[in-house]
Structure 1
Amino acid sequence: MDADTAVQDYAEASVREDRIRPLRVLVTGYRSNPHVGGQGVYIRELTRSLRDLGHNVSVASGPPYPELDDGIELIKLPSLDLFAEDNAFMALRLRHLTSWADLSEWLSHNSGAFGELYAFSRRLERFLAREGDRFDVIHDNQTLATPFLRINRRVPVITTVHHPIAIDREYALAAGGKWWERALTRRWYHFIGMQARTARQLPRLLAVSQAASDSHADHYGIDTDRVRVAFNGIDHDIFHPDAAAKPEPGLIVTTASADAPIKGLDVLIDALARVAAARPLARLHIIGTLRDGPAKQALAAHGLSNRVTTSSGLTREAIAQLYRRAHIVACPARFEGFGFPAAEAMACGAAVAASNGGALPEVVGDAGLISTAGDAASLANDLARLLDNPEEAQRLGARAAIRAREEFNWSRHALAASRLYAEALAERSPNA
């Protein structure tokens, strides 16, 4: 069964069932900044929708902390925040020696590993030892650290999975570099083994796409029978068409949170180079910061630097306006567990040219063009097709807006989560 059918069947079945019983839900995330990546967006929107279903919702997070609606409690679990330190090695204090969470984070960071996931879950475990009776269920956002197995014995844990970070490691290693650079990459991603072991043992997972479920099965060995699939939603109050906004001929918009191989920015730059010479209006706007690195070097090598602009720190409203102005929104990632930029651009009525990386074909459906991930020539063909045929771009944008409205709904996602909560509690107590 494909993801669209699964979500639709589940939503219809849910309507026939009794009303959701309100629960005390603790949503957890080791980092929850809503302006950097999708983690904070997910927590903000999930908690809002869970509250609207009648649940009493709290959030436990490490820094940077989330932005939450009124009435949703924020429980701060401070980390050492070593990335903000000028000298992380000198950040250790005597009090940290009494906390394995603090000490493990310091040791990991200063030996080239990423230790925040494990350290956060240890702090959460300690908090729940004091106050765990306040909550009926824990809903974690893909921390997948081993302490969650112990937490699950005390309070049922449901975990959302987006995409396995093992894929990021594969692309980072494939990018090459010196032997010691590859060794440092392996050390940084050392936590992947922990996540795989934890994912295999947690009893219930909520995947944001069929690709997210399948890729966790492939890379982490999870049993897909334990996975419920429900698309993410988007904020339709912000991301929607506006008849007053007219697409600007030639304007290609993309979102690049990082200049990393998995994001496919290098593929888009190569594709732009292939179509730009014959199309003087073709230009690229990147939502993100373009630091010195491979992408910037590629733009210079292709002579495209004067055709590219960037913006960062934008409000969601400003991003929506960019999507409405775009002739094309390009989503060239080699893998996405869902793909918020594609879904949000579609909701604004933009013509989307996406790769077939991960969940993007599920998200785009028949409302956009799909090229082969990592293939610049394939993406260039789609860009040229839409640049040369603005009427087709307009038709696809109109179809995309309808699809986004029908498929990407946070209430539906929160309802899927709520059914998992009820199943977990019923399994532990027939009277739950």
Structure 2
Amino acid sequence: MTRDANRPLRICMISYRSNPHCGGQGVYVRNLARALTDLGHHVEVVAGPPDPLLDSAAKLTMLDCLDLYNAENPFRTPTVRELKNPINLLEWLSISTMGYPEPETFGYRAYSHLKNRVHEFDIIHDNQSLSYGLWALSRLVPTVATIHHPITRDRQIAVRSVRSFWKKVKHLRWYSFIGMQKRVVRRLPKFITVSEFSKTDIHAEFDVPAERFHVVPNGINTELFYPLPHIEREPNRLIVTNSADQPLKGLYYLLQAVHAISKQREIRLTVIGTPKEGGGIEKLVKKLDLGHIIDFTGRVSNEEFREHYAKASIAVVPSVYEGFGLPVGEAMASGIPVISTTGGALPEVAGDAAMMVPPENPEALAEAICELLDNPEKAKELGEAGYKRVQEQFTWKNAAEQTVAAYREAIRDHRKI
């Protein structure tokens, strides 16, 4: 092996929206950047809001934008001076007509920022913006893009979840950026995805040859998620780490299952996070009269997160579809028994260390929950098996090493062009 093949790489990771507290993409950027720097590589993360809160030696560059999804001032009206910028104007007009322009507009900003800096990097790694700006950069410097799963699945599930014609149109408009992503994906040379299931799905949805993909499973942050044996588990308490109103995440089905169980036995549910005010989850909780047995935590610290896992009897992952399934891995790393659906790639993560049920099936969820609550020995065995599985198979060091191998292949191929 040549010296050049071993030298540290200069890596630019670009990510249009990477909240480190929720969503797999934010977790991915933060943890992969740290693991890459731990291996000795030089990493700069170029990001849109919110701040990904990097906890490593990686450099962070935040790009200026309208930040119209800022929770403290959402969908504000930009100033005339701001709208003189063509990219800002495009972003505001798209949002004003119910679109989601951030992947596209971030790509333009990233290209503008990086086009004269490409000599500073050996590789650019895109975190699923799949934008026109990325396509332009890929002509100048070796490029790899991570696709966690095809967003077409989000669109299908969102459209299917509503009956109103206008709500269906609204969802179609929101996901209109997918057309751009499909066009760009077909022109990029190399991709990383996080599961074999996602690889197959992306190949089918985006018509991308399977040989362009490296499958690199995510790691689990075992410095954040680990058992707390000194805390006693509370009987009949469930935990779910997703409070989102997105149909993709399946919380609606878990609430229906909890409602059915509550008619027969004592049950409590801890939901990490806060539901959207006036959204579907909040309305369903009121409709089913579940407020007295559900605790929404709001944002919690890492210490509080671990304690909530330690107190719960079972972690439930009710997702309709996941390209990987970080909540399954995080729960298993915490030593808690897991019930998961078979949606998307979840079986790849869970293996035989969790109880698996079909997605979109409240009855199956309720039956599995009751079975595990009534069988503490089985619950203990699952908790131990899950913990062992994460330690052996899902580390960020492994993910970083496999990612670097994908980088080096992309660099070699780019030199041949």
Superposed displacement of residue 186, structure 1: 1.1
Task: Quote the residue 1:387 is aligned against.
Answer: 373
Superposed displacement of residue 278, structure 1: 2.2
Cα pair 1:105 1:115 within 8 Å, conserved = yes
Matches within 5 A, 1:232-381: 232-280=218-266, 282-290=267-275, 291-381=277-367
1:149 aligns with 2:108: no
Superposed displacement of residue 306, structure 1: 1.0
1:413 aligns with 2:399: yes
Task: Quote the residue 2:158 is aligned against.
Answer: 172
Does 219-228 or 172-181 show the bigger shift? 172-181
Give the aligned residue type for 1:370.
M
Paired-residue identity, %:
37
Give the aligned residue type for 1:150.
A
1:104 aligns with 2:66: no
Instruction: Give 1 or 2: higher helix fraction.
Output: 1
1: distance between equivalents of 2:280 and 2:30? 33
TM-score (structure 2 length as normaliser): 0.94
Does 35-44 or 361-370 show the bigger shift? 35-44
Give the aligned residue type for 2:329.
A
Superposed displacement of residue 179, structure 1: 2.1
1:93 aligns with 2:80: yes
Task: Quote the residue 2:122 is aligned against.
Answer: 136
1:39 aligns with 2:25: yes
Task: Quote the residue 1:6 is aligned against.
Answer: none
Superposed displacement of residue 384, structure 1: 0.9
Q: Deviations over 1:257-304 (max 9, x none)?
A: 411211111111111122222222x11111111333333333333332
Cα pair 1:101 1:118 within 8 Å, conserved = no
Q: Secondary structure at the match of 1:300?
A: helix
2: distance between equivalents of 1:237 and 1:179? 46
Q: Secondary structure at the match of 2:270?
A: strand
Cα 1:272–1:89 shift into 2, 3 Å: closer
Give the aligned residue type for 1:184.
K
Cα pair 2:274 2:299 within 8 Å, conserved = no
| Aligned counterpart in structure 2 of residue 220 of structure 1, from 181, 189, 206 | 206
2: distance between equivalents of 1:88 and 1:292? 17
Give the aligned residue type for 1:264.
G
Does 37-46 or 66-75 show the bigger shift? 66-75
Task: Quote the residue 2:171 is aligned against.
Answer: 185
Cα 1:87–1:93 shift into 2, 3 Å: farther
1: distance between equivalents of 2:202 and 2:56? 34
Gaps of 5+ in 2: none
Superposed displacement of residue 86, structure 1: 5.9
Cα pair 1:29 1:62 within 8 Å, conserved = yes
Gaps of 5+ in 1: 1-13
1:54 aligns with 2:40: yes
Task: Quote the residue 1:4 is aligned against.
Answer: none
2: distance between equivalents of 1:243 and 1:19? 44
Q: Secondary structure at the match of 1:238?
A: coil
Q: Secondary structure at the match of 1:58?
A: strand
1: distance between equivalents of 2:164 and 2:224? 45
Q: Deviations over 1:202-252 (max 9, x none)?
A: 111111111221221222222221111111111112212232122211010
Cα pair 1:20 1:418 within 8 Å, conserved = no
Superposed displacement of residue 424, structure 1: 1.4
2: distance between equivalents of 1:88 and 1:397? 43
- For this pair of structures, how many residues does the alignment match? 414
2: distance between equivalents of 1:87 and 1:399? 43
Does 286-295 or 326-335 show the bigger shift? 286-295
TM-score (structure 1 length as normaliser): 0.91
Cα pair 2:132 2:180 within 8 Å, conserved = yes
